[in-house]
Amino acid sequence: MPEATILLDPLHAVGPVRRRTFGSFVEHLGRCVYDGLYEPGHPTANDDGFRLDVVELVRELGSSTIRYPGGNFVSGYKWEDGVGPREQRPVRRDLAWHSLESNQVGTDEFARWCALTGSELMLAVNLGTRGTAEALDLLEYVNHPSGTALSDQRIANGGTEPYGVRMWCLGNEMDGPWQVGHLSADDYGKIASRTASAMKMADDSLELVVCGSSGSSMPTFGEWERVVLEHTYDSVDYISCHAYYQERKGDLGSFLASSVDMQFFIDTVIATADHVKHRLRSTKTMLLSFDEWNIWYLDEHQASDEVNDEWRFAPRQLEDVYSAADAVVLGSLLITLLKNTDRVASASLAQLVNVIAPIMTEPGGDAWRQTTFHPFSITSRLAAGTVLRPVIDSPRYDTAVYGEVDLIDSVATWDAATGRGAVFLVNRDQTSERTVTIDASSLGAAQLVESLTLSDDDVYAKNTLTDQNRVTPHPNATATLSAGILTVTLPPVSWTALSFRRVAPK
């Protein structure tokens, strides 16, 4: 088979590796919070009721920023219900996911959970059923040091120090008719602008995310961004992107090329944002927050009875069990996010525990890693310094959805200060292994440190409660490094990470 070649050059720098690229997302949905990260009766639970086995897995995953508490949930959420003595907190109906919310986990508890995991809290405000005043109240509660009614209430509730939340989402998916309080682009742009301006009056160092389209298939995609940004450009810092992918009708070839659509999404939003920038004569460049992305078998869930007429606490919803192929696609999507690090400054894998998540739990029992856990955790661990856009010469294949696509995709990172680099690769070929030659001589690559590949003879193999390590990364013994040239053979439908270092002269 024809070989693929990759050239790495420090002159092909895209931008810095941003730790916020490795963010995640926790929503009050299904068993993400309750029976997921929070289970007071679990053997590993701490005094707050949080499962410490899950905390350890989140640390291993390498999640940086955690978006909370939604998601569709936030558009009907009263944050005041989730603070104060737990025994006094009300039970509410969550219209978004047709379930009951106990409010036993709220802002204070989740801030403490973030501290346990070493992650940054990113809060969303409710612009569906609430507005500017409530957003300002939440901001005062979490960030003001002391001496005001709401900051003193936080202190009385145990939050003696302010939480210092920097990133704030101005609502969620307000373009979607499924959203409680759904608005037109013009109406949403107006309330987002008012709320952003007020929040910046309270603290002009905040980083605010305005809602972009909830998917590239939305009929308003592109036009929504234009209208919203014309209202908000001067007062926000990011526009959000949301995208989910799944294999449909047995078309694995197109599914493996899902990152082509993600790149289209990013390119379109950048073009629209830059159009508004020039139209308004602004000197600011708008950044993107890809704050929901993942593999999600939405078609199957919509055909099920997971959301029904019953009002239940923490029902099992959206608990996708991921395959080896799903993990390869997730690794490919992460490659695309890194390739766009000059404009995609933040991202959140949706979600974190149980609900379309890399971590699964059993009540009273184990927590384990899904297949998708591995490419995320390894990329988070190895990526550092600067993102380099590789020059790739790859064989191509035909897809039903995206036309002709490269069989090999890749991105690299290089940390000149430490002399360490990493290359991340996917092989989309369903039947053949592919040998890839990577020229890293301009980086002084001299020693191979690590070579890991995730693949399986059965691309639909999964990790389950009874077989938790069916699909895991394994050392790739074919990888070699000589005279600055890396060579590696990639199995069919696989994701691979290589790390190397420059050896200083003696």
How many CB atoms are closer than 10 A to CB 477? 10
Look-up of token digits 């507005």? 131
Domains and CATH numbers, the chain: 4-9+386-502 (2.60.40.1180), 18-382 (3.20.20.80)
In terms of C-beta density within 10 A (0-12 exposed, 13-18 middle, 19 or more buried), how is residue 90 classed? Answer: exposed
Give me the pLDDT at residue 35, please: 97
292 catalytically annotated: yes
Give me the pLDDT at residue 307, please: 77
Q: Of the listed 140, 173, 225, 247, which one is catalytic?
A: 173
Asked if residue 341 lies in contact with residue 127, where contact means CB atoms within 8 angstroms, the answer is no
Long-range Cβ pairs for the range 194-202 (8 Å, 24+): 194/132, 195/125, 195/127, 195/131, 195/132, 195/135, 195/170, 196/170, 196/232, 196/235, 196/236, 197/235, 198/132, 198/135, 198/136, 199/135, 199/136, 199/139, 199/168, 200/235, 202/136, 202/139, 202/140
Q: Of the listed 292, 300, 310, 404, which one is catalytic?
A: 292
Quick check: pTM over 0.95?
Answer: yes
> Cα(255)–Cα(353) distance, rounded to whole angstroms?
24
3-class secondary structure, 323: strand
Give me the pLDDT at residue 2, please: 59
Low-confidence ranges of the chain (pLDDT < 50): none
Closest CA to 258 of 326, 328, 333: 333
Give me the pLDDT at residue 408, please: 98
DSSP state of 348: E
How many CB atoms are closer than 10 A to CB 80? 18
Alpha-helix runs per DSSP H in 427-472: none
Widest CA span of the chain, in angstroms?
A: 72
Closest CA to 269 of 283, 290, 284: 290
Instruction: Report CA dihedral (245, 188, 95, 307) to the nearest 10 degrees.
Output: -20
Give me the pLDDT at residue 308, please: 80
Give me the pLDDT at residue 68, please: 98
